[in-house]
């Protein structure tokens, strides 16, 4: 067998109940009810595989999928998983469809995500405020950007290894989870 050949079993075993739970949540999300799902367990137990299978069953053509990751060395970096998630939005094949939606939020987001300037070169950042105000403005811009994307079609956010997240990102995710109660909100999946 070639070194780069996957050895992952194509059949997911023993996860029928978990997949059924995901299916119920996806049905609620499709009807406009936002939800947060937390998958936790020991390292190597198959959390990522479960999420990948749930994503495949949700239908990639029906769900907008964004993924970010936390890494142990990023614990001290504010917004690390959120920036990773935002970059995944810019690097997807659907970038051209997302850019018009990002444009209204770009003056705020570009301060923490300078990559936006590559795709929206005419955007100028808003004036810099005090750190706490900057954080609140970034939270609001990213929240409304994500909720706006969710209005177009159900949105599945995955944050891998959340236990390595910085406190600022956790604060944002808590706020986003609160916003998911609105009818236009999307599903958020937080993997730990």
CATH number for 113: 3.40.50
Q: Which helix (H) or strand (E) holds 172?
A: helix 167-179
Q: Based on the structure, what is the number of domains in the chain?
A: 1
User: In this model, does residue 84 exceed pLDDT 70?
Assistant: yes
14: left (phi over 0), alpha (psi -120 to 50) or beta: left
Per-residue confidence (pLDDT) for residue 10, from 0 to 100: 63
Per-residue confidence (pLDDT) for residue 127, from 0 to 100: 95
Please indicate, yes or no, if residue 7 is contained in any of the structural domains.
no
pTM given for the model: 0.80
CA–CA dist 179, 188 (Å, integer): 11
Please indicate, yes or no, if residue 147 is contained in any of the structural domains.
yes
DSSP E strands in 43-85: the ranges are: 64-69
Per-residue confidence (pLDDT) for residue 2, from 0 to 100: 67
Highest mean pLDDT among 38-47, 56-65, 161-170: 161-170
Per-residue confidence (pLDDT) for residue 175, from 0 to 100: 92
Please indicate, yes or no, if residue 6 is contained in any of the structural domains.
no
Residue 116: count other Cβ atoms within 10 Å of its Cβ. 24
Q: For residue 68, what are its two tokens?
A: 């970010």
Please indicate, yes or no, if residue 158 is contained in any of the structural domains.
yes
Q: Which domain holds residue 26?
A: 16-191
Q: How confident is the model at residue 143 (pLDDT cuts 50, 70, 90)?
A: very high
Please indicate, yes or no, if residue 5 is contained in any of the structural domains.
no
Please indicate, yes or no, if residue 9 is contained in any of the structural domains.
no
CA–CA dist 90, 93 (Å, integer): 8
How many percent of the chain have pLDDT more than 70?
84
């Amino acid at each position: 067998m070639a070194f780069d050949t996957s050895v992952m079993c194509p059949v997911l075993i023993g996860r029928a109940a978990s997949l059924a739970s995901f299916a119920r949540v996806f049905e609620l999300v499709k009807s406009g009810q936002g939800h947060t799902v937390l998958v936790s367990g020991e390292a190597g137990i198959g959390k990522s595989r479960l999420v990948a299978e749930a994503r495949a069953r949700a239908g990639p053509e029906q769900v907008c999928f964004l993924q970010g990751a936390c890494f142990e060395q990023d614990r001290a970096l504010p917004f690390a998983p959120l920036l990773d998630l935002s970059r995944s939005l810019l690097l997807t094949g659907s970038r051209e469809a997302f850019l018009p939606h990002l444009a209204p939020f770009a003056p705020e987001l570009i301060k923490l995500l300078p990559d936006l300037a590559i795709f929206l070169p005419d955007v100028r950042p808003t004036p810099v405020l005090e750190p706490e105000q900057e954080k609140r403005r970034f939270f609001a811009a990213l929240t409304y950007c994500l909720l706006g994307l969710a209005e177009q079609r159900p949105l599945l956010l995955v944050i891998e290894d959340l236990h390595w997240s910085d406190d600022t990102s956790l604060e944002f995710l808590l706020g986003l989870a609160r916003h998911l109660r609105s009818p236009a909100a999307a599903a958020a999946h937080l993997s730990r």
